[in-house]
């Protein structure tokens, strides 16, 4: 069994313990990307409003130009974090 498969299997019965984990779970679900839930949980330390705004903007951009909402979501979070650090 690969490491990625083991992580996916361990998250199969995931139950959020915090509001931020719940938001991360819902965003992954909204993007039909639950197999990659661990990636969303890695960014759930950001404020809920930031996660929700990134998801909203990713969906808007997808409707506007057909971009991949998952990639846009993570790109937005990365860009915002880079700007905060500067």
Q: Is it the case that residue 12 has pLDDT exceeding 90?
A: no
pLDDT at 10: 65
pLDDT tier at 79 (50, 70, 90 boundaries)?
very high
- How many independent structural domains does the chain possess? 1
Q: Which two tokens stand for residue 29?
A: 């679900």
CB 37 within 8 A of CB 16: no
Neighbours of 4 (CB within 10 A): 11
What is this structure's pTM?
0.83
User: Alpha-carbon distance 36 to 38, whole Å?
Assistant: 5
pLDDT at 7: 64
Count of all residues that appear for the chain in the document: 86
| 3-class DSSP assignment, residue 44 | coil
pLDDT at 66: 87
Structural domain of 61: 3-85
Residue with tokens 């995931």: 14
């Amino acid at each position: 069994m690969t490491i990625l498969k083991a992580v996916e299997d361990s998250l199969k019965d995931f139950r959020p313990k915090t509001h931020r984990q719940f938001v991360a779970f819902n965003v992954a679900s909204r993007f039909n990307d639950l197999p990659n839930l661990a990636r969303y949980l890695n960014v759930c330390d950001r404020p809920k409003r930031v996660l929700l705004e990134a998801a909203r903007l990713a969906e808007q951009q997808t409707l506007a130009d057909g971009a991949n909402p998952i990639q846009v979501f993570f790109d937005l979070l990365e860009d915002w974090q880079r700007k905060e650090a500067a």
